[in-house]
């Protein structure tokens, strides 16, 4: 899966969670709006109709009281009061015909009673009937019924509103609970998806980094496959191609070194034989000056032969061939031969080699050539980096192992590589006021590490 697809999945998941929460909120709002519409259309619509009937019936009651007042105090206003009462009865009759079926029974009975009462008043002597005690009590009873009916209507409206309010509260609580749940799930999903995407990228990148370090350390073995996005796998493929090319170049280098060493070894051996014949006087006596020149040639030839031998040993070690175990080798003898080989270089640089031996080492089974070459490399490095002074190498005894140490006075160096690039080697870094530039260990030191690692 490509990295873009992983990111698309992570963003789509979070977007889906947010859209789900938004959709549930919209549904909750729609349900609340429908409740408000239901209250307005059903409850308030019925109340408005009943209110019109109530007002018309109450208008009849008010007109009857006004007519009673006119009969008692202003007889000349009685005809006008009777006309008003008749008009209001007609209005009430029209409303009852229009809204009668939708009116509650108690209010409907009270309104019908006021209608019958008014028609009875208008059918005879208005003042006489208005002042009749029985009819007056009937009017008061109808007014009480009308008031009770309106109170019942108000209570019913309040009850319906409370029910809708409770339903709206439940809907809001559900929306909040679902929103919080979706929010928590979105947070958990975001964390899980982010972790999944991060691990899908960082883990293979870490593996690629380790593989790159391994290739940089000179290990050109086949790289294990790395899983992850296609971009990571493409990077691994490029790294593997680079590793293969470096391995080919390394093999070509080793083949060239081995071929050149073999090609140089034969003429150098003949040259050493010829110089030996000259030095022995086989070709005739030599003067003192000629002997000095022959000795210089012998020393130079031996140095070149040692260099070719070192290259051949290095080729054998890097080829992974088995270490040759020589029985009965003593580390003291190898150190003496190494000191003899490096002593000339030490004299040229004004450095004295001192061997400090703590007892003698027992015979051991080891590759004498590789161990000697490693010791020569270590001491040569110490001599090269030391200022005029002294460098020493000493073997130390222990019940189960022997250890050599090379110490010198110089700018020192720092091991820039990590284990196992220099396994079983410890180097102490020192500083010198006269040396400000960083110094890297020469090829001889790296060759010594390789020999020591492969020889165990």
Dump pLDDT digits (tens) for 62-116: 888 888 888 888 888 888 888 888 898 888 888 888 877 877 888 888 888 888 8
pLDDT at 326: 66
pLDDT at 300: 83
Please give the residue that has the higher pLDDT: either 456 or 23.
Answer: 23
- Tell me the per-residue pLDDT of 168-202, one tens digit each, with 9 for 90 and over: 888 878 878 887 887 788 778 878 877 877 777 78
Query: What pTM does this model have?
Result: 0.42
- How far, in Å, CA of 321 to CA of 224, rounded? 24
Nearest to 227 by CA among 213, 243, 210, 208: 208
Please give the residue that has the higher pLDDT: either 22 or 411.
Answer: 22
- How far, in Å, CA of 10 to CA of 195, rounded? 10
Question: Checking DSSP bridges between strand 364-366 and strand 326-329, what pairing results, if any?
Answer: antiparallel
pLDDT at 43: 62
Q: Name the burial class of residue 431, with classes exposed (0-12), middle (13-18) and buried (19+) by CB atoms within 10 angstroms of its CB.
A: exposed
**E-assigned strand segments in 94-214:** none
pLDDT at 432 over 50: no
- How far, in Å, CA of 120 to CA of 135, rounded? 9
pLDDT at 398 over 80: no
pLDDT at 306 over 50: yes
pLDDT at 435: 35
pLDDT bucket at 395, cuts 50 / 70 / 90? low
Q: Take residue 313 and report the two structure tokens written for it.
A: 């040993």
DSSP 122-141: HHS-HHHHHT-HHHHHHHHH
Q: Name the burial class of residue 174, with classes exposed (0-12), middle (13-18) and buried (19+) by CB atoms within 10 angstroms of its CB.
A: middle
pLDDT at 454: 47
Q: How many CB atoms lie within 10 A of CB 272?
A: 16
- How far, in Å, CA of 450 to CA of 456, rounded? 10
pLDDT bucket at 404, cuts 50 / 70 / 90? low
pLDDT at 145: 86
Q: Is 228 in contact with 200 (CB distance < 8 Å)?
A: yes
Q: 392: which residues sit within 8 A by CB, 6+ positions away?
A: 353, 354, 355, 356, 406, 407
pLDDT at 356: 78
What H or E segment, with its residue span, contains residue 395? strand 390-397
Q: What is the mean pLDDT of residues 124-151?
A: 85
How many residues does this entry show for the chain?
456
pLDDT at 444: 45
CA distances from 130 to 112, 124, 167 (A): 18, 10, 51
- How far, in Å, CA of 16 to CA of 19, rounded? 5
pLDDT at 323: 55
pLDDT at 447: 47
Domains of the chain: 3-192 (1.20.120), 220-321 (1.10.287.130), 325-455 (3.30.565.10)
What H or E segment, with its residue span, contains residue 143? helix 133-216
- How far, in Å, CA of 13 to CA of 282, rounded? 95
Give percent helix, percent strand, percent coil of the chain, each to the nearest 5.
75, 5, 20
Q: Is 449 in contact with 425 (CB distance < 8 Å)?
A: yes
pLDDT > 90 in the chain, percent = 0
Q: What is the mean pLDDT of residues 32-56?
A: 74
pLDDT bucket at 44, cuts 50 / 70 / 90? low
Task: Report the mean per-residue pLDDT for the chain.
Answer: 75
Please give the residue that has the higher pLDDT: either 63 or 265.
Answer: 63
pLDDT at 455: 47
pLDDT > 70 in the chain, percent = 78
What H or E segment, with its residue span, contains residue 438? none
Dihedral (C-alpha) 333, 324, 244, 206: value to the nearest 10 degrees?
A: -70
Q: Is 238 in contact with 10 (CB distance < 8 Å)?
A: no
pLDDT bucket at 406, cuts 50 / 70 / 90? low
CA distances from 65 to 12, 87, 130 (A): 76, 15, 8
pLDDT at 58 over 80: yes
pLDDT at 267: 87
Gap between the terminal Cα atoms of the chain: 45
Torsion sign across C-alpha atoms 76, 78, 79, 83: positive
- How far, in Å, CA of 296 to CA of 290, rounded? 10
pLDDT at 416 over 80: no
Residue linked to tokens 């899980």: 192
Q: 130: which residues sit within 8 A by CB, 6+ positions away?
A: 64, 67, 68, 71, 121, 136
Q: Take residue 113 and report the two structure tokens written for it.
A: 């009673």
pLDDT bucket at 427, cuts 50 / 70 / 90? very low
Which span out of 1-15, 35-49, 211-225 was modeled with the highest average pLDDT?
Answer: 211-225
For helices 133-216 and 45-73, give the axis angle rounded to 10 degrees: 150
pLDDT at 278: 84
pLDDT at 205 over 70: yes
């Amino acid at each position: 899966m490509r990295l873009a697809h992983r990111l698309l999945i992570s963003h789509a998941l979070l977007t889906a969670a947010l859209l789900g929460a938004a959709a549930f909120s919209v549904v909750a709002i729609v349900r609340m709006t429908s409740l408000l519409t239901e209250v307005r259309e059903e409850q308030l619509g019925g109340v408005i109709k009943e209110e019109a009937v109530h007002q018309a019936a109450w208008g009849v009651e008010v007109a009857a009281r006004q007519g009673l007042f006119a009969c008692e105090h202003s007889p000349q206003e009685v005809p006008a009061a009777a006309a008003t009462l008749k008009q209001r009865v007609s209005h009430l009759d029209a409303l009852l015909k229009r809204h009668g079926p939708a009116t509650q029974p108690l209010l409907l009975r009270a309104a019908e009673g006021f209608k019958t009462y008014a028609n009875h008043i208008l059918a005879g002597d208005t003042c006489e009937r208005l002042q009749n005690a029985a009819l007056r009590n009937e009017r008061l009873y109808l007014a009480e019924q009308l008031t009770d009916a309106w109170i019942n209507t108000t209570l019913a409206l309040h009850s319906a509103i409370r029910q809708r309010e409770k339903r709206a509260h439940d809907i809001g609580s559900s929306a909040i609970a679902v929103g919080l749940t979706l929010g928590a799930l979105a947070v958990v999903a975001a964390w899980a998806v982010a972790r999944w995407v991060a691990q899908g990228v960082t883990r293979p990148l870490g593996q690629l980094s380790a593989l790159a370090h391994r290739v940089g350390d000179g290990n050109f073995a086949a790289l294990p496959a790395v899983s992850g996005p296609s971009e990571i796998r493409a990077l691994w493929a490029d790294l593997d191609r680079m590793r293969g090319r470096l391995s080919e170049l390394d093999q070509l280098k080793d083949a060239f070194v081995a071929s050149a060493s073999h090609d140089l070894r034969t003429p150098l051996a003949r040259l050493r034989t010829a110089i030996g014949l000259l030095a022995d006087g086989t070709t005739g006596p030599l003067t003192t000056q000629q002997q000095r020149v022959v000795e210089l040639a012998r020393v130079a030839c031996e140095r070149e032969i040692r260099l070719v031998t070192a290259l051949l040993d290095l080729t054998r070690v890097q080829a992974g061939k088995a270490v040759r175990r020589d029985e009965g080798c003593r580390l003291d003898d190898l150190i003496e031969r190494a000191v003899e080989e490096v002593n000339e270089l030490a004299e040229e640089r004004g450095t004295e080699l001192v061997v400090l031996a703590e007892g003698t080492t027992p015979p051991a089974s080891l590759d004498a050539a590789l161990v000697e070459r490693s010791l020569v490399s270590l001491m040569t490095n110490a001599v090269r980096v030391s200022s005029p002074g002294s460098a020493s190498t000493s073997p130390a005894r222990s019940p189960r192992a022997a250890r050599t140490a090379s110490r010198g006075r110089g700018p020192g160096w720092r091991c820039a590589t990590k284990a196992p690039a220099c396994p079983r080697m410890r180097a102490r870094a020192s500083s010198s006021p006269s040396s400000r530039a960083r110094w890297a260990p020469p090829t001889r030191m790296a060759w010594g590490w390789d020999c020591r690692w492969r020889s165990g």
